[in-house]
């Protein structure tokens, strides 16, 4: 018996629609993406060898209250700008590590916003922060 | 004079490579995107003049305006922060922690979090906004 050959239908994918869908997806991703670029300060924290309690030299201490900023428990600074100028004059970044330590003592009630400004100023000036002690009342 | 009609060549635009390029672009965007795990955490960042752009780390610790601590977008107890962060850093073989604390938190509230993070030996990148 002779079988008749079926006629072959050539398969064709519609690539125009394919590309359209792909570009729509790209546009969707671009429009729904939010690009986040974080800003802040990387903090240098004291290692065991640089722990303020183990360091013999005098450590610069910044005492922070909700209203005032004091240096070494005595000199009251006029404000944050004065602190920046003091730190800039001290040239912390050029000193050896053990002389770059800055101890920040904070009274309870100091808001994070204010605390952060002092921490950022010290880190920006090249100080190594010892920040984790809370002043006992 | 009778002009000869030129035979028209039908223009053909190859669409197959266009689809390929489009899908390559999609794959590129998907692979290079970092999805924010902390979009639901409501933190008002503190502001300062002394900040700079910093490279992103993959481990984020936050304290929101209610004083709740979040590690990688999940709420956790303060006592668990050290273990959780150490585990996350070890899994990613990095030591940078992105720290976000709400600007209205008081020192006695966020100080224990700083203590817990200092015990992990991580490098802290404290995130703020340009004043």
Residue ranges of B 62-121 with Cβ closer than 8 A to chain A: 98, 101-108, 110-111, 114-115, 118
Distance of CA B128 to the CA centre of its chain: 14
ipTM rounded to 2 decimals: 0.76
Q: What distance in Å separates the CA atoms of residue A65 and residue A86, rounded to the nearest whole number? A: 18
Distance from CA of B1 to the nearest CA of A (A): 44
Residue B30: name the closest of A52, A6, A28 by CA.
A28
Q: Which residue has the higher pLDDT, A54 or B47?
A: B47
Global pTM value: 0.74
CA distance B82 to chain A (A): 15
- Indicate the domain borders of chain B: 47-130
Query: A65-69, A118-122, B35-39, B92-96: which has the minimum mean pLDDT?
Result: B35-39
Which domains are delineated in chain A? 48-130 (3.30.420.270)
Class of domain B47-130: alpha beta
Residue in the block written with tokens 């050959």: A5
- Sheet strand arrangement including A101-106: A75-77, A69-71, A60-64, A101-106, A128-130
| Residue the block writes with tokens 């950022």 | A120
Dist. CA A21–CA A37, nearest whole Å: 30
Q: Distance (Å, rounded) from C-alpha B114 to C-alpha B73?
A: 18
User: Is residue A18 very low, low, confident or very high in pLDDT (cuts 50, 70, 90)?
Assistant: confident
């Amino acid at each position: 018996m002779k079988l008749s050959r079926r006629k072959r239908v050539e398969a064709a994918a519609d690539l125009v629609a394919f590309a359209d869908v792909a570009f729509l997806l790209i546009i969707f991703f671009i429009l729904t993406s939010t690009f986040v670029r974080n800003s802040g300060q990387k903090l240098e924290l004291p290692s065991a060898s640089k722990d303020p309690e183990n360091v013999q030299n005098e450590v610069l201490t910044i005492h922070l209250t909700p209203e005032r900023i004091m240096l070494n428990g005595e000199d009251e600074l006029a404000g944050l700008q004065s602190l920046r100028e003091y730190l800039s004059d001290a040239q912390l970044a050029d000193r050896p590590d053990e002389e770059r330590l800055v101890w920040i003592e904070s009274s309870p009630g100091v808001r994070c916003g204010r605390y952060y400004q002092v921490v950022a100023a010290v880190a920006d000036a090249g100080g190594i922060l010892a920040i984790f002690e809370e002043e006992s009342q | 004079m009778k002009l000869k009609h030129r035979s028209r060549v039908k223009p053909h635009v190859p669409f197959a490579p266009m689809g390929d390029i489009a899908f390559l672009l999609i794959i590129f965007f998907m692979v290079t995107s970092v999805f924010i795990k902390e979009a639901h955490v409501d933190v008002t960042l503190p502001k300062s003049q002394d900040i700079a752009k910093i490279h992103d780390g993959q481990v984020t610790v936050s304290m929101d305006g209610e004083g709740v601590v979040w590690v990688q977008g999940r709420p956790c107890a303060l006592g668990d922060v050290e273990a959780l962060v150490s585990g996350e850093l070890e899994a990613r073989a990095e030591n940078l922690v992105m720290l976000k604390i709400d600007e209205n938190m008081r020192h006695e509230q966020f100080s224990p979090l700083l203590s817990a993070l200092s015990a992990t030996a991580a490098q802290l990148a404290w995130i703020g906004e340009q004043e």
